[in-house]
Structure 1
């Protein structure tokens, strides 16, 4: 009798252990997707930026609104003192992405590198004159003193020169006193009346505009006069094709966050209020001018259209600036514009 009771007890214990094991297995299966999701880290993109560059405005707005995380990417900012340092960091693998121009990308692709470009901003430099200046067209600059930021091979300067020759018959480089220098220095010289005109980067031009200067011609004006059908992004997000192939979701998420941030900055004045400390605007008028010029520079055309215009401008710049500017390639290198599988749009 006792033996039967013991055997029955063992059977019951085995059944309990079996049922417990089944429930444990079912519970584990149910939790498995969540466990996998928690173990998969959000991808990170390291973006090299200039310490005091305007790209920081957008990335700060992106972080404040949590748009990177919402898109599925963590954005890590790595600050550099100058463009050369950020370019070296990208080439050395210390960062995954920087902002640079398509000329640099095309030139490196011609040498065998695999960098590629996504439009970031169409805001470009402008040739500014004082509000009461008698200069009305490029032809009026003959014999004047012109300040130029970016050096003799600056794209905007070359395009403005080409426009001067084609439309006004004036050789700005040969018939004027040209002063090359750093943007802040040239801005101050323009304020003090030491320059008759100054070609400066867009945010310095915007500050002068807020003080009463006016635009004689912008880089975009010159490009469109020379054949572009619309504004062309001079600068863009630059990264390796190989990186994009290995991390397609990270690149897609970052570009989605970039688009969402631009939309926010285009429509929300409140989003800009938080950026005031970064912008270092001298007064409310300067702040407003910087905000509006930034908004004007948000790319609005399909990348495929921009690419077609860029190819035209590249050929023109190759003719004007020669190998010193573009390297050995006479045409924009294939792959300069990033192909995301959506026809570049």
Structure 2
């Protein structure tokens, strides 16, 4: 799976320009952008602000807040000039996404205080697609982006939204801009960047629906795997994630994570939950490693990190794991991670770790 997010930013901006350029001689200052309280001019400038802001945060690796700068238009800038600003800031975001290393993350508040290059690209696309729709609606222009662009946004930063009949109508519904049959109108929404959990030698990187689909189909999910990876269990877990996403029951923070070594960017295994915690606060966890990464303590380290993260939450009281009776190394992993054996079946043993 290759990351084409820089190209997709450019395609989204090109579609915006093509839709809005025929109306550059019209009044954008007093015409509202769709149902927004902003004018078409304010909305177009907001798109440019977002594009340069995302590029700045990612390029500068901002960690705790937005990079403290603003852009402004020269006095007398007309609508054509404003579109040129969108074109330019879009090119800057595309270039930044292309040159950022795969593991680079920077500040964004929703919902885990950071995003990677795919996340920033998807957020930039969302701003362009949705606000171009708003402006076009206000100016009575026709506009519909490529389905692939809307799909890119949904499978990166709307993993909690069940796919609808098509990607564009689903994205409009998910952001309160349209209706879908059988679904209640959306009045409040936020997108959802992926979660990362660091440990001593690893970063557990949350897998998004787009990456899970690729893993399920035999791809690498966009990760640089060590020899022999990903192992079969990771692919199976990715398939479970895709099914949950398509059914509209996926909770991203209780999904699949890939264990990545920051020292070289290589992925060594997968770990994750079988689903969200039940009513009793029990969450089941599973893991595997590529054969070439075994025997180095990675599974124990990842299990400690992910179970510790879960048990620090209010909705998790117990983390549960089952291990095949014959899998001696995995019994050692859960024991070293602090789990206690609670039952023995014919084919497997059950372990759990409870809140202190």
**TM-score, normalised on structure 1?**
0.21
Structure with bigger gyration radius: 1
Question: Which structure's residues are more often helix, by fraction?
Answer: 1
TM, length-normalised to structure 2:
0.21
